[in-house]
């Protein structure tokens, strides 16, 4: 169980200005050097190159903004952010650089730090998505940007679809209201569009939701516009504060799911994939002969808890983040600790070996049987999560609400590593948004 | 509107636990110096959350942060026993909703304190009757009061004392949920009730 590579977290200077009061979350833009921090009734967008304020979104919400999501796949001179608020609405905001057609506008401006220009422009609240009965806790765009999911204390998940004729035509329709959770829905997350090809009769978009009812649910569109719950993940013994899909799954495996909870554990869940996706399994369905193809598949998916990360926290875990680049996971919570974990190959004695992640993943691809999250197959034991490092009091005595991996563009990063090297960003009750270098 | 509990048991203020000597143990005493203790206390009710004024302004003769007097159970009791009950014109101390033996501080305040070390304050409350619908509001009032008055390294956990309330698990879970607490404080009606309860804490 000995951690192998020692890793250190080195604090970098915090983003400026200090927000002074509780900040909930900081979301990096999918491609541009921008970070959106939700705090109080507004959002402050920071530049990742200057580590200072780029712009703010204000006067759109009557109560705190709890979460934000960047709309993906837009040209670099257009920004679109959705905010989810305790006032029970979600706001869709746009920021457009109209003046500089063709010159690469925004990207040049934000990387060059031309702040005077930026301040003349403004975010505009375009659409208010109204429908939830109480606080919206989380908002998330699907990988294509076609769908937006919102969730609330009202126990529901809403899926909204962009039905506008063009990007500028903001028309959003409610396509589903999912009411199966028995408590507040704390977070929603869409599966990345890697290795998640349409399974059987379902569409390719997959949504996961985490709840106060201690469960996680997985939702898919059935091909006829109906969204159905295909799995309920039970195991956590407290509110599930959040979820993240495996950002970069290996060997064509379906992305795994990372969940974290008030029960102070972080779990990894794996879909039990059928042996052959293309054909109906002979043994199970042979007796059903002539029924239409769409009826043959089970509507349900089987998800099993395949790992619990080493214990590192003493109170609620509010946030965790899984790197697409390195596969490292970091977590934070009420105890003010940052914990860093790595999935490593090891021999049967539990010692970490030199096998690569890919080899470990290949082993997992074998026909592995599991029960109650405990692997029965010997091969499975050759992969385990190790705790690499912990950083106590990362925000002094304050709670830490959020952590995310994010690319570096700041002056302290070697020029050839800009946009490549990763850092962690934590967001705390002290209103500090702090980057951390990993070495 | 009918009160949930029209005839609660009421303790005399002079019977409530108090600090007889600032340095001594906190056994409940009969000397009626509670009022004096309250008058001498600096106002710790702060409007901005997470303001760390109370430890900076605590009565210490030195600038050295290590000589700050530890916060003990009696001090926690003093902070919350004066909160008013939302339906009776009485304090939570008088109604025995909060009781000194049900306040626990970990690690113990007698150990040397580092301002970054997390200190857990666990308060177990005893609602006046088992189905008291206001248990959540009372718990919320206690959590808010302590979060506003205590330094930021304190983590406040408010729970219903085992066996005293019919839905204690549900109430405990709500009171432990930071996000729900934050949202509740932005609800004007609820905030009004809480402000009224905390008005008597000076």
Q: List the single residue in A21, A239, A335 with the smallest CB-CB distance to B118.
A: A335
Considering the domain boundaries, does residue B150 fall inside one? yes
pLDDT of residue A198: 57
pLDDT in tens, B33-78: 444 444 444 444 433 444 344 444 444 444 444 556 789 999 999 9
Minimal C-alpha gap between B28 and chain A (Å):
32
Phi then psi for residue B109, to 5 deg, are -65, -10
Alpha-carbon gap: B156 to the closest alpha carbon of chain A (Å): 11
pLDDT band at A426 (very low <50, low <70, confident <90, very high): very high
Contacts of B153 in chain A (CB under 8 A): 396-397
- For residue A253, name the pLDDT band (cuts at 50, 70, 90): confident
Q: Which pLDDT score, from 0 to 100, does residue A297 have?
A: 53
Asked if B179 lies within 8 A of A430 by C-beta distance, the reply is: no
Q: Is residue B7 part of a domain?
A: no
Sorted by sequence, the CB contacts under 8 Å of residue A121 that are 6+ apart come out as A55, A95, A96, A97
B131 within some domain:
yes
A19-31: b (≥16 Cβ within 10 Å) or e: beebbbbbbbbee
- The confidence score (pLDDT) of residue B68 equals 61
The predicted model gives A293-306 an average pLDDT of 74
Dump pLDDT digits (tens) for B16-25: 888 754 444 4
Of B49, B151, B183, which is closest to A22 when you measure between CB atoms? B49
CATH architecture assigned to A9-438: 7 Propeller (2.130)
Report the C-alpha gap between A172 and A169 in whole angstroms: 9
Domain range summary for chain A, segments of one domain joined by +: 9-438
Q: Quick check: is B12 in a domain?
A: no
Contact A334 B178 (CB under 8 A): yes
Does the model's ipTM exceed the 0.95 cut?
no
| In-domain check, residue B40 | yes
C-alpha span between A252 and A200 (Å, rounded): 17
Give the pTM: 0.83
Count: domains in chain B: 1
CA neighbor of A156 nearest in space, from A90, A112, A202: A90
Q: Which domain holds residue B64?
A: 22-198
- Whether a cis peptide bond, with omega within 30° of 0, leads into A28 is no
Per-residue pLDDT at A16 exceeds 60: yes
Number of CB pairs, chain A paired with chain B, less than 8 A apart:
59
Cα–Cα nearest to B139, from B160, B153, B118: B160
- pLDDT on residue A3: 47
SS (H, E, C) B100-169: HHHEEEECCCCCCCCCCCCEEEEEEECCCCCCCCCHHHHHHHHHHHHHHHCCCCEEEEEEECCCCCCCHH
Tell me whether A274 touches chain B (CB under 8 Å): no
Give the CATH number of the domain where residue B43 resides: 3.30.300.130
| B161 touching A (Cβ < 8 Å) | no
B125 in a structural domain: yes
What are A58-72's pLDDT values in tens digits?
A: 999 999 999 999 999
Q: What is the pLDDT of residues A283-292, one digit of tens each?
A: 444 444 444 4
């Amino acid at each position: 169980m000995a951690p192998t590579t020692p890793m250190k977290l080195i604090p970098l200077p915090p983003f400026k200005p200090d927000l002074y009061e509780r900040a909930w979350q900081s979301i990096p833009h999918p491609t541009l050097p921008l970070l959106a921090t939700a705090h109080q009734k507004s959002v402050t967008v920071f530049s990742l190159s200057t580590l200072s304020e780029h712009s703010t979104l204000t006067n759109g919400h009557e109560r705190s903004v709890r979460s934000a999501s960047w709309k993906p796949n837009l040209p670099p001179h257009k920004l679109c952010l959705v905010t989810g608020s305790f006032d029970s609405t979600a706001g869709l905001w746009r920021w457009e650089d109209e003046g500089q057609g063709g010159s690469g506008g925004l990207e040049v401006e934000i990387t060059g730090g031309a702040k005077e220009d930026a301040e003349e422009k403004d975010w505009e609240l375009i659409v208010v998505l109204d429908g939830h009965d109480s606080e919206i806790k989380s908002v998330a765009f699907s990988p294509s940007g076609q769908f937006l999911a919102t969730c609330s204390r009202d126990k529901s998940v809403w899926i909204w679809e962009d039905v506008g004729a063009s990007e500028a035509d903001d028309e959003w329709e409610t396509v589903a209201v999912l009411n199966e959770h028995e408590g507040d829905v704390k977070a929603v997350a869409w599966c990345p569009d890697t290795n998640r090809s349409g399974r059987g009769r379902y569409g390719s978009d997959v949504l996961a939701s985490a709840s106060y009812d201690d469960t996680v649910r997985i939702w898919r569109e059935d091909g006829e516009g109906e969204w159905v719950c295909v799995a309920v993940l039970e195991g956590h013994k407290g509110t599930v504060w959040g979820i993240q899909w495996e950002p970069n799954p290996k060997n064509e495996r379906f992305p795994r799911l990372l969940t974290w909870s008030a029960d102070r554990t972080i779990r990894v869940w794996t879909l039990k994939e059928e042996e052959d996706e293309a054909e109906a399994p002979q043994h199970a369905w042979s007796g059903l002969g002539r029924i239409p193809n769409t009826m043959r598949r089970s509507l349900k998916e089987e998800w099993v808890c395949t790992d619990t990360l080493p214990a590192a926290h003493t109170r609620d875990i509010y946030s965790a983040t899984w790197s697409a680049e390195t596969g490292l996971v970091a977590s934070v919570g009420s105890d003010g600790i940052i914990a860093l974990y790595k999935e490593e190959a090891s021999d049967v004695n539990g010692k970490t070996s030199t096998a690569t992640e890919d080899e470990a993943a290949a082993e997992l691809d074998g026909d592995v049987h599991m029960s109650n999250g405990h692997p029965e197959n010997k091969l499975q034991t050759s992969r385990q999560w190790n705790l690499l490092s912990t950083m106590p009091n990362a925000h002094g005595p304050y709670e830490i609400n959020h952590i995310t991996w994010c690319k570096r563009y700041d002056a302290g990063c070697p020029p050839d590593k800009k946009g490549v090297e990763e850092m962690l960003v934590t967001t705390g009750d002290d209103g500090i948004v702090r980057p951390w270098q990993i070495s | 509107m009918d009160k949930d509990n029209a005839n609660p048991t009421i303790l005399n203020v002079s019977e409530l636990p108090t600090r007889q000597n600032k340095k001594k143990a906190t056994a409940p005493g009969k000397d009626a110096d509670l009022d004096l203790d309250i008058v001498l206390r600096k106002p710790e009710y702060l409007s901005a959350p997470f303001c760390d004024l109370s430890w900076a302004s605590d009565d210490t003769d030195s600038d050295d942060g290590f000589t700050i007097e530890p916060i003990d159970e009696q001090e926690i009791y003093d902070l919350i026993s004066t909160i008013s009950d939302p339906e009776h014109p009485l304090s939570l101390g008088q109604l025995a909703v909060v009781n000194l033996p049900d306040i626990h501080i970990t690690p113990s305040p007698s150990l040397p304190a580092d301002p970054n070390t997390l200190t857990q304050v666990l308060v177990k409350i005893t609602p006046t009757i088992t189905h008291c619908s206001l248990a959540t509001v009372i718990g919320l009032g206690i959590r808010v009061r302590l979060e506003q008055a205590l330094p930021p390294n304190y983590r406040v956990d408010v729970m219903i004392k085992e066996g005293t309330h019919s839905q204690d698990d549900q109430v405990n879970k709500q009171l432990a949920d930071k996000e729900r607490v934050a949202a509740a404080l932005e609800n004007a009606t609820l905030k009004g009730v809480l402000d009224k309860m905390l008005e008597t804490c000076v």
